[in-house]
Structure 1
């Protein structure tokens, strides 16, 4: 809340100090105004001019003395309350703790901090970037001493800090005329804030996190929920170069090479981009904030909207900024501390619900979802083709929401503990995945037919010493995946894409493989039939078809899916014949949703590999190496499951052709 949690004086004493400070401020202002007015209220006679000038100088001296005295008293009070170390003061300036040393000064919370802001204009003190106490004292001094009102005054440039200090020190009498800020705030008329979540965008992997922004409702938009043209969108996104390639865009976003871009624009424009242009369903979540907290957040937005901080795709992004706004007005908590590796929009929505910060939620179907609803339910002849009409007003659709509400999703991170066997060789496996959702994972809360997994590590411990199978008594890295994803756009649905071959997939990983070219080569050192850890890149493009019965009254796609994807592959490793192989082939598969808790996936991969010509008759230059894989998962609850997987190498002469494992899956 905005109330102070760190006062060290009794309430009566604080009230006395605040009352004294207020009286002094009033006395100072009245004395200055009163004496100034008396000097100009009458036309002084020439003989009395020197006396008048002397009187004016005396009044200015007294006013200056009063201001100095008031400033010192307020600084003393601020020190007694330890305001420089207050979470709100630190967060208003983006201070981060850089030192854990236990010197006496650091124990008081006055050093060991550094602000993320590099703009010198953001601070009043020259030492303000690294000294919260110096910045606090300079801010108090400037607020009291600065005689010039208007947009360039400290109070007008930093309304959130000024308001907070007024609450803490009793400076209700310090008023400033701020036409720019007042006009900005009156135009927005902020009365309620909501988080807007646009689902992950299947055809642009860089948006796989989804996107969040803040909806600013005004008096007019609250009076008429359809009147979204009276509301605004507060959006924090990356100010990237649209001419950069996808790879450069992703790298620059990940490493802070682009600045963040905070914009406030009409809400219908932003909502239409998601629903009509990108065909992304949208959920909104009303935040449980007081009127005072809403106003303070908007004051803080005003003084930080032009900072252009570096944008980091994983940590400093659209979702983290929303949490930071809430943390500024809720100093007793720290939502951002809940995330260390990445701030993901869907995780943020779940955290807000967990913390009791969501009042209600609303669903807005994309144009493609409405079109699919008409395919699912031909009787819905009067269903609108869009959730927004030509007058930028909301249109009621009364559809059953698609099952992509992030509040219903499993947690992003996943760990699997497995027991398995490769031929007759047993092993234990431990696997971790950073995110997001795979074909066997519970689909609720994620875009239908969009699978993206990142940050996968799997270790296997084998226990077998049979020489004819190689020495498997060791721990082996089975998989290290940077990215693996597929997006299916079934040709018989409203989300069929722009072409027949609109389904695609990509993977970038290191993985254990069998090299079929070596199966007759007994001259090579070591075990010719052992696995090799290879760096692998693959890309798929193909067609998919959906079938089955979707949820009644919804724009959900049919739950079952089959696909045929052409694929190109490249792998490198010292263990491979000639150190590399390239391949092309086809992947055929189906996914079947047996019920809400059980899924089955089957696939056959048929790659044709080529190593380059060779003079060794015992090594194959090229060959087919088909692999059949099957998988099933049963969900125990939203964040626990049992999984069974198996694969079989259809090429003869390879040891370890079959691989079966049973796993316990935990999402967290």
Structure 2
């Protein structure tokens, strides 16, 4: 009898035995529809019925049609588990440890070969999984790919609390695999369209901590989960199966957050997290889903270097900020007579701020020069230490409003009454309820507005594909660029008061300033490319401006804006607008808008609108 024949007989014997063990074993037919097997294969119900796997890599499957046939994949896996033990690390038991453990338990596979999975055992021992932390690097305004925030998992070892060994933990991350140097705009576009493959990566946590809190200056929120060591280990086993396995990556649904929810469903069978996100998976929404599922045990906050720098510099006077800049560039000026004449307590604050400024710019400068300046300033701090830095913890990211917004409005345009109905898929603008969001941030994706005038006259008012604004204030120590970009369809003022629907792509750059604690001013130069059939050249460029103020007041947020576009064909448009939102509750807002439009083609037009905004996912 050949080895292959003996193996097949053993498989059939096991399958026959399984039918007589209904209390603790099952048949392959039954297991193929088990939610846990579906989760292990990352299957979803196909649009036209049947199954399809999110995994876009043939190397993950053992059956030829395994990507669309969970039963065939299960049968192929059971057969593969009986391959000769001499295969060693290449044995399917070594390649698929999570599948192996589960099938062994459910099918009572007591006679499996015992290959030596040396690579997996060494890797698992090095990771040493014991507990899990969901990490949320908060939104970062000046990076288009980071404006939604991000999530990753930290896999901790058993002595994490007693020995404070978080830096020795591993970060489990899913992200786009980028080859080459795509710029931010190309990166955003390809991310939207699924132009990058997505890969899981397990790397030292200290590397990710450096990347997010230092290089991108993002606050970190750490949500300790109540997963048991067994559940954490079960999840890590599956991560080994996904090593170098490719998925399609999309910013809004099949992204970092969605993939991690799938892993948590592997860790704790029975929880349902991904079903809440059939269309989009915004990171803050997925954090909220994890919280609602009762998985969060504790929340810790780690401020970014930028937040710490600004907090330390906040009590400094203008002349003291000048000293911060001088010392950060040349610590030898610590011995200047003018500097030593300052009170010791003020020098303590100045040199600590200078040290933090040097560390903030560390990624952009030569390491040796930066290290020398840091050492000199740190020595001065040790001789004259400042008071400990007290930072107020900002609102939790998941405490903000939901991502999808329904809008119902009534108003008047040049004495014509109208009703307006809107839907925005994601996720925040300058006037929206602010808790959990930074002031001056706006990122709107797929916004539709339909307007109904008197006489039952309907029209498409606007369709925004994207509308992003980053108004990051400048100060004496940091000089970030403010910018905006958008595109879609919108109504503009035309001849004789007509409002033609035009297509456009627009953008701009400039600066923003913190005029007061709750008052932001901004000014940007803009450019616009418009498709307008009313123009002699239907595709026409324009240069312009956009400026105004954003005021956080007791009711909510108020914006006062003025904008203008000067087309090459001589057409000039200007707009003055005011928007005030009343934050009725976290997920309900009432917005009053007033606007006056000017065009050389028509008389000025006034519009007033009152809008109810319901934030709902």
TM-score (norm 1): 0.76
Q: How many residues align?
A: 553
Contact 1:530–1:655 (CA under 8 A) maintained in structure 2: no
State the secondary structure of the residue aligned to 1:259: strand
Distance in 2 between residues matched to 1:482 and 1:64, nearest whole Å: 56
Please identify the structure whose Cα radius of gyration is greater. Answer: 1
Is 1:96 aligned to residue 44 of structure 2?
Answer: yes
| CA displacement at 1:130 relative to structure 2 | 3.8
1:598 match: 556
Contact 1:220–1:230 (CA under 8 A) maintained in structure 2: no
1:512 match: 491
| CA displacement at 1:193 relative to structure 2 | 1.1
State the secondary structure of the residue aligned to 1:150: helix
Within 5 Å, give how 1:252-651 maps onto structure 2. Answer: 252-377=190-315, 381=349, 385=356, 398-403=390-395, 405-463=396-454, 474-492=457-475, 495-497=478-480, 502-515=481-494, 518=495, 528-548=496-516, 558-576=517-535, 578-595=537-554, 597-611=555-569, 622=570, 624-650=572-598
- Greater shift in the superposed pair: 284-293 or 360-369: 284-293
| CA displacement at 1:369 relative to structure 2 | 0.5
- Greater shift in the superposed pair: 365-374 or 445-454: 445-454
Distance in 1 between residues matched to 2:63 and 2:573, nearest whole Å: 69
Contact 2:532–2:539 (CA under 8 A) maintained in structure 1: yes
- Greater shift in the superposed pair: 476-485 or 77-86: 77-86
1:223 match: 162
Change (3 A) 1:71 1:233: same
Contact 1:149–1:178 (CA under 8 A) maintained in structure 2: no
> Structure 2 residue aligned with 1:69, among 4, 7, 13?
13
- Greater shift in the superposed pair: 417-426 or 247-256: 247-256
> Structure 2 residue aligned with 1:234, among 157, 172, 175?
172
State the secondary structure of the residue aligned to 2:32: helix
Q: Deviations 1:240-267 (Å, cap 9, x if unpaired)? A: 2332344433333233332112222111
Q: Deviations 1:134-186 (Å, cap 9, x if unpaired)? A: 33334334434644362122221110011112332344675543111110011
> Structure 2 residue aligned with 1:200, among 125, 139, 142?
139
State the secondary structure of the residue aligned to 1:219: coil
Distance in 2 between residues matched to 1:359 and 1:484, nearest whole Å: 36
State the secondary structure of the residue aligned to 2:611: strand
Contact 2:598–2:604 (CA under 8 A) maintained in structure 1: no
Distance in 2 between residues matched to 1:586 and 1:178, nearest whole Å: 64
- Greater shift in the superposed pair: 262-271 or 77-86: 77-86
Distance in 2 between residues matched to 1:589 and 1:259, nearest whole Å: 41
State the secondary structure of the residue aligned to 2:88: coil
| CA displacement at 1:283 relative to structure 2 | 0.9
1:165 match: 103
Alignment RMSD:
3.1
Gaps of 5+ in 2: 317-344, 363-370, 372-387
Change (3 A) 1:64 1:445: closer
Contact 2:529–2:540 (CA under 8 A) maintained in structure 1: yes
State the secondary structure of the residue aligned to 1:662: strand
Distance in 2 between residues matched to 1:58 and 1:414, nearest whole Å: 65
Distance in 2 between residues matched to 1:573 and 1:60, nearest whole Å: 71
| CA displacement at 1:294 relative to structure 2 | 0.7
2:606 match: 658
Distance in 2 between residues matched to 1:88 and 1:230, nearest whole Å: 31
State the secondary structure of the residue aligned to 2:134: strand
State the secondary structure of the residue aligned to 1:140: helix
Contact 1:214–1:233 (CA under 8 A) maintained in structure 2: yes
| CA displacement at 1:224 relative to structure 2 | 2.7
Contact 2:139–2:149 (CA under 8 A) maintained in structure 1: yes
TM-score (norm 2): 0.82
- Greater shift in the superposed pair: 580-589 or 341-350: 580-589
Distance in 2 between residues matched to 1:192 and 1:494, nearest whole Å: 40
| CA displacement at 1:579 relative to structure 2 | 3.2
